[in-house]
Amino acid sequence: MVSSYLILFGAIAFEVLGTMLLPASNNFTKPVPTLTLLVAYGFSFYFLALVSQKLPLSVVYASWAGLGVFSVALLSYFFYKQTLNWQMIFGLFLIVLGVTIVNIYKA
C-alpha cells in the first residue's frame, strides 16, 4: 500500500514537472523544455497506469488531479510570479481537504 502511494506521488511529481515546463517550451518551439515535458508526462501516465491497478481509480485520479492543481498553483506563484488571492488560497485548501477525505474514506 505504501509503495502504491509512492508511485502515485511519482505520477503527481512528473505531471507537475511537465505542466510547469509548458510556458518554458514556448508553444513547443524550444526543444529541451518540450522534450523534457513530454518525457515527464509519459512517466506520469505510466506511473498512473501502474497505481490504478492497486488503488481505486477514484482515489488515484482525485489525488493526481487535485494535488497536481495544488502544486502547480503554488509553484507558479514562486516561479512565474502569478498571484494568489485569498479566494484562490481557500479553493486550494478545499482541494487538499477533498483529496484527504477521498483518501480517508476510500472503498
pLDDT 10s digits, 57-72: 999 999 999 999 999 9
- Helix ranges, 1-107 (H): 2-20, 31-51, 57-79, 86-104
Cell numbers given for 83? 498571484
Cell numbers given for 17? 514537472
Place of cell 518525457: 39
Answering whether pTM is above 0.85, one says yes
How far is residue 36's CA from residue 22's CA, in Å, rounded to a whole number?
Answer: 10
CA 18 to chain centre: 9
Mean pLDDT along residues 41-53: 97
Residue 107 has pLDDT above 70, yes or no: no
Q: Tell me, what's the pLDDT at 2?
A: 82
43 Cβ partners below 8 Å, 6+ apart?
A: 10, 11, 14
Place of cell 481557500: 90
Q: How confident is the model at residue 1 (pLDDT cuts 50, 70, 90)?
A: confident
Mean pLDDT along residues 81-92: 96
How far is residue 8's CA from residue 65's CA, in Å, rounded to a whole number?
Answer: 11
Contact present, 4 and 51 (Cβ < 8 Å):
yes
